[in-house]
Structures are given as C-alpha cells and as structure tokens.
Chain A
Amino acid sequence: MDANTLIFGSMAVISLAIFLYLGRFKASSKQTDRDDRIDWTKRSFSLWKIFLYSLVLVGGIVLVLQFI
C-alpha cells in the first residue's frame, strides 16, 4: 500500500466515522437559538430572484473571461 492510499484512505475512514458519530447529536445552542435561522417551511425569495442572481453570476464569469 503506497503513502497516497494510506493517507487519503485513513482520511476517508476517519471522516466517515466522525460524520456517523457527530451526525447523531443536536447542533449547539449557538446554532439553533438564533433569530436569523433559515425558515425551511416557507420560500422567502422567488425563483425569479434566484434566476436573476444566477444570470448575473454567469454574466460576471463571462465578462471576467473576456478580460483575461
């Protein structure tokens, strides 16, 4: 087994173990007791707004590309 497999393989196994262990616990009160939490029960912005933002992003990338 080479060093690459050993390092990244261990990283994968340890990370998976952390996910499976940590995932069972509730998030800290610092995370859950906030006024600005996402309200997943409603959509607070329209799809048009998202579409407009994404168009601006794509336009921005294309513009940057033109100058490079």
Chain B
Amino acid sequence: MSNHKALNMFGRSGNPALKADTFSQSARGTSSSGGIQSMDSATMTLQGTVNKTGILLALVVLSATYTWNLFFEGGAGAVMPIAIGGAIVGFIFALITIFKKQWAGTTAPIYALAEGLFLGAISGIFEAQYPGIVIQAVGLTLGTLASLLFLYKTGIVKPTENFRLMITSATMGIALLYLVSMAMNMFGSGGIGFIHSNGLFGIGFSLFVVAIAALNLVLDFDFIEQGSEMGAPKYMEWFGAFSLMVTLIWLYLEMLRLLAKLRSR
C-alpha cells in the first residue's frame, strides 16, 4: 500500500486510534537489538514521539511564562482576556487535531502555545493565593508521568480492553459532571458543590479525578507503543505527543485543584 493511500484510509477513520492497514506498513523503526528505535524511519518511532512531546512541553512553558509574568505585573484583569482566548483557541485546535490527524504537525504546536497562555494565567492566580503551589503541581505531574511510564514499560501496569473501557467511561463521566456543573453555574444554581468543596468528599473526588487522569497516561503510552510497533505514518508522532499533552495538561490542572483544596483547609 502506498503512503498516500494509507493516509487517506487513516484520515477517514472515525476511530480515535489507528487502522490496521496503516499499522501493517512496516515496523522499520525497530532495531534488531530490540532497544532504541532509529530516528531516520519514515514511520512513527518512539524516539520521534518523545522528541515531539518535548517540543510541545517547551512551547507550553514558553507561552505560559508570558501570561505568568503578565499576571504578576498587571494583575488578573490584564491576563484574563488572553487566558480565555488561549483556552478557546486551544479547544478549537484540539478538535481540529482529533479530526484531522494529518495536520497534527501544525495544529499540535498551536494547541500547545494556546494552552500555555491559559495555564500561565491560571497558575499565576493559584500561586498568588497559595505560594509554592505551582512548583508542587508541576513536580507531582511530571513525577506521575515518569512513574507511570516506568510501570508501563516494565509491564507492571498492563492495559487491556476492559481497562480501556473503564478509564474511557470514567473520563466521560467526569466530563459529564463538569458540564452539568458548568450549566448549573450559568443558570445561577451554584453548580455541584462537592466538586469544588475542600471537605473530605471534595478532596476524595479530586483524588479520583487525578487517578483517572493519570491512568489515561497509560492508554496514551500503549497507543504510542503500538503505533510505532506497527509502523504508523510519521505524522502520528505529533498526534501521539498531542494526546500525551492533553492528558498532562488535564492532570496538571487537577493536581492544582487538589493541592489548592488541601491548602485551603
């Protein structure tokens, strides 16, 4: 199958993952020693995906630094329009990346820059209220990332179809709960109180959400591992890095919320 045909088939898939035909192109990136994959492959590699994740992380930090500084110089009023704009642009580009994976090389960096603007402002607001909270959330988020990668690579955590069903359902459930809470807030009924409370149930809920966000990382690792094993197209490196970035940003925000609840008690 030609690369072009594979791209077309891949693009038409409504599946969030990959098509069998695309995977079967080759696994040329795998070295005979079973170790590090080569970088010059025309297909998706682990090395390429890790590099691109590093680039997206750097872009997030770059734009976050801008709104972070702006917040501490001009206050919340100066930074909120940029933060809200960043969140909206980020959401739009996330949707484009999901539905047009071939464009991920362009849309994923824009997503990272836009989300960085939002994260910098939110982090500044939390830091002003609870000094030292941001470095704690960053450390714990990256710590979770490294720990789960180790558990995945060594085979201690083994994602199965049932695992995927449970984590996907729980993620959708949390999204549903947040949506209902937002809708209730808009209509002035105060939202679902326990989500934001610093009581035992509120903290328990935040812990549950952090756990689900962390377990989503395992699904991302498995997706990337299989994509590189089966020789998915090169642009899937950007898509894999983007998936990882979406989960990491969610995990970071939930860490911030959890730490804020604990500090406010």
Contact = CB atoms under 8 A, between A and B. Distances in A.
A29 B53 CA distance: 24
Contacts of A22: 146, 149-150, 153
Nearest to A27: B153
Given A5-B132, A38-B161, A39-B161, A23 B46 contact: yes
A44 to B, nearest CB: 5
A25 B155 contact: no
By CB atoms of chain A within 10 A, which of B20, B49, B165, B169 has the most? B169
B233 to A, nearest CB: 14
Given A8-B136, A11-B139, A25 B153 contact: yes
Contact of A54 (B17, B159, B169): B169
Interface string B24-62: 000000100011110000000011011001100100000
Interface in B131-161: 132, 135-136, 138-140, 142-143, 145-147, 149-150, 152-155, 158-161
Contacts of B145: 15, 19
B50 A34 contact: no
A16 B50 CA distance: 11
A28 B164 CA distance: 20
A42 B163 CA distance: 15
Interface residues of B, number: 64
B169 A27 contact: no
B172 A50 contact: yes
A4 B132 contact: yes
A26 B177 contact: no
By CB atoms of chain B within 10 A, which of A9, A11, A45 has the most? A11
A7 B153 contact: no
Contacts of A29: 155
B15 interface: yes
Contact of B153 (A2, A16, A31, A37): A31
A53 B173 contact: yes
A61 B170 CA distance: 11
Contacts of B163: 38
Contacts of B225: 26-27, 31-32
A49 B139 contact: no
Given A12-B135, A54-B173, A55-B173, A41 B149 contact: no
8 contacts: A11-B140, A11-B142, A19-B142, A19-B146, A22-B149, A40-B226, A49-B165, A53-B170
Interface of A: 2, 4-5, 7-12, 14-16, 18-20, 22-32, 34, 36-45, 49-51, 53-55, 57-58, 61, 65, 68
